[in-house]
């Protein structure tokens, strides 16, 4: 079994953001150089030795856990991301 990398997870999250027309980055700089949270962005969070998919939901940077499963192994998150992407693509047919 091949090891799942953070780069593979980031690639899938990038595809999800593109498919849903979401911002690519969690934060962007405004004209004054201040950082602003990009509401709707999906990104990977890491904690407790695991990873999780989060969505930015407030302009202050608040997030929600998309799968509501806490931080899991990279392999488990990879499986969930592929299924999520498959669901997005199936909904477009």
Is 1 part of any domain?
A: no
pTM summary value:
0.91
Is 74 part of any domain?
A: yes
Span 55-69, mean pLDDT? 94
- Domain span at residue 16? 6-91
Total residues belonging to the chain: 93
Helix axes 74-91, 6-19, angle to 10 degrees: 20
Number of domain units in the chain: 1
pLDDT value at residue 83? 97
């Amino acid at each position: 079994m091949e090891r799942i990398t953070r780069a593979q997870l980031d690639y899938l999250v990038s595809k999800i953001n593109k498919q849903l027309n979401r911002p690519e980055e969690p934060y962007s700089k405004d004209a004054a150089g201040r950082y602003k949270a990009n509401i709707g962005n999906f990104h990977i969070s890491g904690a407790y030795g695991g990873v999780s998919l989060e969505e930015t939901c407030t302009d202050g940077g608040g997030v929600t856990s998309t799968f509501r499963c806490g931080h899991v192994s990279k392999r488990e998150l990879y499986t969930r991301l592929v299924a999520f992407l498959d669901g997005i693509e199936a909904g477009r047919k």
